Structure 1
Amino acid sequence: MLAQCTLFVLLLQVTSSWAVPTRAAKRAGPTVRLDDATVTGVANGTVNKFLGIPYVQPPIGSLRLRQPHPITSYNQSFSATTYGPICPQQLQKLVLPDDVPAIVSEEMGSIGAPVDLPISEDCLTVNIIAPADATPDSKLPVVLWIFGGGFEIGYPSSTDGSILVNQSVSLGTPVVYVSLNYRLNIFGFLASEEVQDAGIGNLGLQDQRQAMRWFQQYITQFGGDPSKVTIWGESAGAISVGAQLVANKGNNEGLFRAAIMDSGAPLWLGNITHGQPYYDHIVDETGCSNSSDTLDCLRNAPFEALMSATNSTPNMFSYQALATAWIPRVDGVFLTDNPQQLVKQGSIADVPFINGVNDDEGTLFSFTTLNVTTDDELLTYIQTYYAPNATSDEIEHVLSSYSSDPVYGSPFNTSNQNALTPQFKRIAAVLGDMTFQGPHRFLLQERSAMQPTWAYLYKRGKSTPYLGSDHGSELTNAYGGGDLAAYFIRFVANLDPNGNNVDVEWPKYTTDSPSLLTLLDGDIPLNITQDDYRVEAIQAMNALMLKYPF
Structure 2
Amino acid sequence: MGGRILITRLLSLAVLYVSVAFGLYDGNNTVDLGCNKYAGVSGSNSITKWLGVRYAAPPLGDLRFLPPEEPPCDDAVQIADQHGKWCLATGAAPDNPDTSEDCLFLDVYAPANVTASSKLPVFVFIQGGGFNSNSSPNLDGSGLITASGHSIVVVTFNYRVGPYGFITNGNFVKANNGLRDQRKALEWVQRHISKFGGDPDHVVLGGSSAGAASITLQLAAYGGRDENLFHAAAAESPAFATMLTVEESRYQYENFVIRVGCVGHDSLGCLRSKTAEELQEQNTNVPYPGAAKSPLYMWGPVLDFDLITDLTYNSFAWGRFIRVPMIFGDDTNGGTVFTPRNASAIGESNIFLHDQYPYLDLAHLMEVNSLYPNQNTSCPSPGCYWRQVSDVYGDMRFMCPAMFISSMAAQYGVPRSWNYRYNVEDPGQMAEGIGVPHTVELHAIFGPENTRGGPQSYQPGGINAHIVPVIQAYWTSFIRSFDPNKFRLPGTSEWQMWNSSSRQRIVFETGGNTTVEPVNENTWIRCEYLSDLGATIKQ
The residue aligned with 2:154 is 177
SS in 1 for 2:249: helix
The question of whether the paired residues in 2 share the 8 Å contact of 1:249 and 1:348 is answered with yes
Query: Which letter maps to 1:292?
Result: H
1:228 to 181, 202, 221: 202
The residue aligned with 2:103 is 123
The residue aligned with 1:527 is 515
Query: Which letter maps to 1:253?
Result: E
The residue aligned with 1:34 is 33
Cα offset, 1:438, TM superposition: 1.8
For each residue in 1:147-182, what CA deviation from the matched residue of structure 2 results, as whole angstroms up to 9, or x when unmatched? Answer: 111112226644221111111126xxx100001110
Cα offset, 1:321, TM superposition: 7.7
1:489 to 467, 476, 491: 476
Cα offset, 1:439, TM superposition: 1.0
The residue aligned with 2:457 is none
The question of whether the paired residues in 2 share the 8 Å contact of 1:36 and 1:75 is answered with yes
The residue aligned with 2:122 is 142
Gaps of 5+ in 1: 1-22, 93-111, 408-415
The residue aligned with 1:393 is 363
The residue aligned with 2:189 is 215
Cα offset, 1:226, TM superposition: 0.3
The residue aligned with 1:43 is 42
With 456-465 and 260-269 compared, the bigger mean Cα shift is at 260-269
The question of whether the paired residues in 1 share the 8 Å contact of 2:262 and 2:271 is answered with yes
Cα offset, 1:397, TM superposition: 1.3
The question of whether the paired residues in 1 share the 8 Å contact of 2:90 and 2:285 is answered with no
Cα offset, 1:517, TM superposition: 0.8
The question of whether the paired residues in 2 share the 8 Å contact of 1:53 and 1:80 is answered with yes
Mapped to 1, the partners of 2:402 and 2:30 lie a distance apart of: 41
For each residue in 1:507-536, what CA deviation from the matched residue of structure 2 results, as whole angstroms up to 9, or x when unmatched? Answer: 1101122111101125x7100001235222
SS in 2 for 1:143: strand
Matches within 5 A, 1:489-508: 489-500=476-487, 501-502=489-490, 503-508=492-497
SS in 1 for 2:207: strand
Mapped to 1, the partners of 2:284 and 2:173 lie a distance apart of: 25
1:471 lines up with 2:471 in the alignment: no
Cα offset, 1:119, TM superposition: 2.2
Mapped to 2, the partners of 1:420 and 1:489 lie a distance apart of: 44
Mapped to 2, the partners of 1:89 and 1:495 lie a distance apart of: 34
Cα offset, 1:376, TM superposition: 3.2
Mapped to 2, the partners of 1:199 and 1:280 lie a distance apart of: 13
The question of whether the paired residues in 2 share the 8 Å contact of 1:89 and 1:154 is answered with yes
For each residue in 1:302-353, what CA deviation from the matched residue of structure 2 results, as whole angstroms up to 9, or x when unmatched? Answer: 22221011136579xxx95865211112112211111111111111011111
Count of aligned pairs? 486
SS in 2 for 1:539: helix
With 237-246 and 151-160 compared, the bigger mean Cα shift is at 151-160
Mapped to 1, the partners of 2:183 and 2:265 lie a distance apart of: 32
Cα offset, 1:469, TM superposition: 0.4
Query: Which letter maps to 1:543?
Result: D
SS in 1 for 2:364: helix
For each residue in 1:351-392, what CA deviation from the matched residue of structure 2 results, as whole angstroms up to 9, or x when unmatched? Answer: 11100100000000013x62x322234334433x13434431
The question of whether the paired residues in 2 share the 8 Å contact of 1:87 and 1:155 is answered with no
1:404 lines up with 2:368 in the alignment: no
The question of whether the paired residues in 1 share the 8 Å contact of 2:285 and 2:294 is answered with no
1:132 lines up with 2:112 in the alignment: yes
Mapped to 1, the partners of 2:367 and 2:35 lie a distance apart of: 63
The residue aligned with 2:86 is 86
Cα offset, 1:86, TM superposition: 1.5
Cα offset, 1:82, TM superposition: 1.0
Cα offset, 1:257, TM superposition: 0.2
SS in 1 for 2:121: strand
The question of whether the paired residues in 2 share the 8 Å contact of 1:268 and 1:338 is answered with no
With 267-276 and 350-359 compared, the bigger mean Cα shift is at 267-276
Identity between Structure 1 and Structure 2 (%): 29
1:540 lines up with 2:529 in the alignment: yes
The question of whether the paired residues in 2 share the 8 Å contact of 1:359 and 1:459 is answered with yes
CA-atom RMSD in angstroms: 2.7
SS in 2 for 1:454: strand
CA change 1:323–1:331 in 2 (3 A) is farther
The question of whether the paired residues in 2 share the 8 Å contact of 1:48 and 1:132 is answered with yes
Mapped to 2, the partners of 1:36 and 1:392 lie a distance apart of: 57
1:446 lines up with 2:433 in the alignment: no
SS in 2 for 1:177: strand
1:345 lines up with 2:332 in the alignment: no
The residue aligned with 1:77 is 77
The question of whether the paired residues in 1 share the 8 Å contact of 2:89 and 2:133 is answered with yes
SS in 2 for 1:52: strand
CA change 1:403–1:326 in 2 (3 A) is same
For each residue in 1:49-68, what CA deviation from the matched residue of structure 2 results, as whole angstroms up to 9, or x when unmatched? Answer: 11111111111011111011
TM, length-normalised to structure 2: 0.84
Mapped to 2, the partners of 1:420 and 1:525 lie a distance apart of: 36
The question of whether the paired residues in 1 share the 8 Å contact of 2:246 and 2:302 is answered with yes
For each residue in 1:7-42, what CA deviation from the matched residue of structure 2 results, as whole angstroms up to 9, or x when unmatched? Answer: xxxxxxxxxxxxxxxx94664672112115432110
SS in 2 for 1:240: helix
The residue aligned with 2:176 is 202
The residue aligned with 2:247 is 273
Query: Which letter maps to 1:525?
Result: N
Mapped to 1, the partners of 2:184 and 2:356 lie a distance apart of: 32
Mapped to 2, the partners of 1:54 and 1:126 lie a distance apart of: 6
The question of whether the paired residues in 1 share the 8 Å contact of 2:134 and 2:159 is answered with no
1:238 lines up with 2:212 in the alignment: yes
Cα offset, 1:420, TM superposition: 6.0
Cα offset, 1:70, TM superposition: 2.0
1:161 to 141, 163, 176: 141
The residue aligned with 1:376 is 347
For each residue in 1:70-103, what CA deviation from the matched residue of structure 2 results, as whole angstroms up to 9, or x when unmatched? Answer: 24766443221111122112336xxxxxxxxxxx
Mapped to 2, the partners of 1:504 and 1:130 lie a distance apart of: 29
Query: Which letter maps to 2:78?
Result: F
Mapped to 2, the partners of 1:320 and 1:445 lie a distance apart of: 34
1:460 lines up with 2:448 in the alignment: no
Mapped to 1, the partners of 2:200 and 2:14 lie a distance apart of: 28
Query: Which letter maps to 1:307?
Result: Q
With 144-153 and 527-536 compared, the bigger mean Cα shift is at 527-536
Cα offset, 1:278, TM superposition: 2.4
1:308 lines up with 2:297 in the alignment: no
The residue aligned with 1:189 is 166
CA change 1:143–1:389 in 2 (3 A) is closer
The residue aligned with 1:361 is 334
For each residue in 1:457-496, what CA deviation from the matched residue of structure 2 results, as whole angstroms up to 9, or x when unmatched? Answer: 0011165131100012111211114311211111011010
Query: Which letter maps to 2:361?
Result: T
The residue aligned with 1:411 is none
SS in 2 for 1:260: strand
Cα offset, 1:116, TM superposition: 7.3
The residue aligned with 1:102 is none
SS in 2 for 1:252: coil
The residue aligned with 1:96 is none
